[in-house]
Structure 1
Amino acid sequence: MKSVSGLAAIVRAIEGRAVVSAAAKATQHRFLQAALYSSISSAKSRCFSLDGLADHFGHSTRSAAHGVGGTMPFSVAASSLAEDVQAKEPPCSKKFLPNDVVLYQYEACPFCNKVKAFLDYYDIPYKVVEVNPISKKEIKWSDYKKVPILVVDGEQMVDSSVIIDKLFQKIHPEISLDSVPDKDEDRKWRGWVDNHLVHVLSPNIYRSPSEALESFDYITTHGNFSLTERIIAKYTGAAAMYFVSKKLKKKHNITDERVALYEAAETWVDALKGREFLGGCKPNLADLAVFGVLRPIRHLKSGRDMVEHTHIGDWYTRLESSVGESCRIKA
Structure 2
Amino acid sequence: MRRAYSVLLHRNLAAARLGGATSTAVPNRFLQTTLYGTTAGSSPSSRRWFSSILAAVVGTSLGVGGLIAASSASQEVLAKERPPSDAIPSDVILYQYEACPFCNKVKAFLDYYDIPYKVVEVNPLSKKEIKWSEYQKVPIIMVDGEQLNDSSAIIDKLGERILSKKKADSTSEDDEETKWRRWVDSHLVHVLSPNIYRNTSEALESFDYITSNGNFNFMEKISVKYAGAAAMYFVSKKLKKKYNITDERAALYESAETWVDALNGREFLGGSKPNFADLAVFGVLRPIRYLRSGKDMVEHTRIGEWYTRMEIVVGESSRIKA
Conserved? CA contact 1:108–1:296, under 8 Å = yes
Deviation at 1:153, TM superposition (A): 1.1
- Find the aligned partners of 2:171 and 2:239 in 1 and give their Cα distance: 35
Q: Does 1:83 align with 2:76?
A: yes
Map of 2:114 onto structure 1: 123
Q: Deviations over 1:67-103 (max 9, x none)?
A: 9986696x99979444334x531x2223313221100
Map of 1:252 onto structure 2: 243
Question: Measured at CA, do residues 277 and 247 of structure 1 come closer, stay the same or move farther in structure 2, by a change above 3 Å?
Answer: same
Q: Does 1:327 align with 2:318?
A: yes
Three-state SS of the structure 1 residue aligned to 2:87 is coil
Conserved? CA contact 2:93–2:142, under 8 Å = yes
Deviation at 1:57, TM superposition (A): 2.9
Q: Does 1:50 align with 2:34?
A: no
Q: Deviations over 1:263-295 (max 9, x none)?
A: 000000000000010000110000000000111
Q: Deviations over 1:226-261 (max 9, x none)?
A: 000000011011001100000000000000000000
Q: Does 1:113 align with 2:128?
A: no
1:266 to 249, 252, 257: 257
- Find the aligned partners of 2:36 and 2:162 in 1 and give their Cα distance: 30
Q: Does 1:231 align with 2:222?
A: yes
Letter in 2 for 1:330: K
Letter in 2 for 1:54: Q
Map of 1:303 onto structure 2: 294
Three-state SS of the structure 2 residue aligned to 1:178 is coil
Question: Measured at CA, do residues 285 and 144 of structure 1 come closer, stay the same or move farther in structure 2, by a change above 3 Å?
Answer: same
Conserved? CA contact 1:110–1:293, under 8 Å = yes
Map of 2:195 onto structure 1: 204
- Find the aligned partners of 1:68 and 1:282 in 2 and give their Cα distance: 20
Count of residue correspondences = 280
Question: Measured at CA, do residues 197 and 296 of structure 1 come closer, stay the same or move farther in structure 2, by a change above 3 Å?
Answer: same
Q: What does 1:139-178 correspond to in 2, within 5 Å?
A: 139-178=130-169
Conserved? CA contact 2:172–2:178, under 8 Å = no
Unpaired segments of 5 or more residues in structure 1?
A: 1-42
- Find the aligned partners of 2:127 and 2:171 in 1 and give their Cα distance: 37
Question: Measured at CA, do residues 253 and 59 of structure 1 come closer, stay the same or move farther in structure 2, by a change above 3 Å?
Answer: farther
Conserved? CA contact 1:220–1:230, under 8 Å = yes
Question: Measured at CA, do residues 125 and 311 of structure 1 come closer, stay the same or move farther in structure 2, by a change above 3 Å?
Answer: same
Asked which structure has the greater CA Rg, the reply is 1
- Find the aligned partners of 2:37 and 2:271 in 1 and give their Cα distance: 34
Conserved? CA contact 2:118–2:321, under 8 Å = yes
Deviation at 1:329, TM superposition (A): 1.2
Map of 2:18 onto structure 1: none
Unpaired segments of 5 or more residues in structure 2?
A: 1-23, 60-69
Map of 1:314 onto structure 2: 305
Three-state SS of the structure 2 residue aligned to 1:189 is helix
Map of 2:83 onto structure 1: 92
Conserved? CA contact 1:214–1:300, under 8 Å = yes
- Find the aligned partners of 1:183 and 1:121 in 2 and give their Cα distance: 25
- Find the aligned partners of 1:180 and 1:236 in 2 and give their Cα distance: 43
- Find the aligned partners of 1:170 and 1:68 in 2 and give their Cα distance: 24
Deviation at 1:59, TM superposition (A): 7.2
